[in-house]
Amino acid sequence: MSEQLRLMAVHAHPDDESSKGAATMARYVREGVRVMVATCTGGERGSVLNPAMDRPEVWEHLSEIRRKEMEAAREILGVEQAWLGFVDSGLPEGDPLPPLPEDCFALQPLEVATAPLVRLIREFRPHVVTTYDENGGYPHPDHIMCHQVSVEAFEAAGDPERYQEFGEPWQPLKLYYQMGFSRKRIEALHAETVAAGLESPYEEWLQKWSENHEEDKAALRVTTQVPCADYFGIRDDALRAHATQVDPTGRWFQTPLDVQRKAWPTEDYELARSLVDTGIPEDDLFAGITESVHV
């Protein structure tokens, strides 16, 4: 007998799982890995970003609708999913920025915010955990808190002295940060789109980077590139299931899948913590684990 590999992806809101690492999860599910998505908040304070869904009745029932969207995306990806039970912080805008709502996820004490994730890790027993980097991938307060909670839970779940009420400790073996928005990747997608004779949706993005002289920090941090181009269609179907959050005619879907597969056939990660020996670069989140888990 061999133990089934298990992967947990920790995300801030419903829809994040479909825009960050979704093809990776779809691939592993279809290779027999159990995959669990932990969703920190319900997305209650999110926006309606699809003009076709921008109606009063949608805003009135946004929390319920986003949960149903998550159910649909979960089925498409083939993953398991759990809500950690916190309330969306919203994205503060303005100068000065307004204070965050008192009940929100981002203002929870770290020990409180970490507790349900520790419990879920001990129940699901993942070998690998993925989350965002210290900037949250982008500086949304919930994404930053998601990073902090994930790092804390990775360490605490295996400590028998902490959170004793949640049962036997379980120590995941590897922790990864998703690195989806590197300039190198966007440049490759842009070049391949132009080469195909198509209008590129990335030109404005690259122009802003050039004007700001931003260093491609994400590309420099990538340690692990998971080939998953065959699952880009599943990724997009899952993202479209979040109909309040994405415009199906928008930038996310303008570049044909065959162009994307040719330009950049992987999803990229930084190995942040490993308790097993592995060589860098990697092409598998379970590198160094498979040999020790399977007998």
Q: Would you list which residues are annotated within the binding site for Zn(2+)?
A: 13, 16, 143
Report the distance separating Cα 295 and Cα 3, nearest Å. 8
Say if residue 224 is exposed, middle or buried (CB neighbours under 10 Å; 0-12, 13-18, 19+): buried
| Alpha-carbon torsion (273, 5, 143, 232), positive or negative | positive
Q: How far is 80 from 126, CA to CA, in rounded Å?
A: 12
Q: Phi and psi at residue 4, in whole multiples of 5°?
A: -75, 135
DSSP state of 104: B
Q: How far apart are CA 125 and CA 155, in angstroms?
A: 13
Which tokens in the block code for residue 205? 């993005």
Tokens of 112: 């409180």
Taking the C-alpha atoms of residue 65 and residue 46, their distance in angstroms, rounded to an integer, is: 11
What are phi and psi for residue 200, nearest 5 degrees? -90, 130
Task: Tell me which H or E stretch contains 85.
Answer: strand 80-86
Question: Annotated binding residues, as ranges?
Answer: 13, 16, 143
Instruction: Give the start-end residues of each E strand in 158-231.
Output: 174-178, 224-227
Q: Which helix (H) or strand (E) holds 110?
A: helix 110-124
For tokens 């999110």, name the residue. Answer: 46
CA torsion 124→85→90→103, rounded to 10°? Answer: -140
Residues paired with residue 131 on neighbouring β-strands, in sequence order? 177
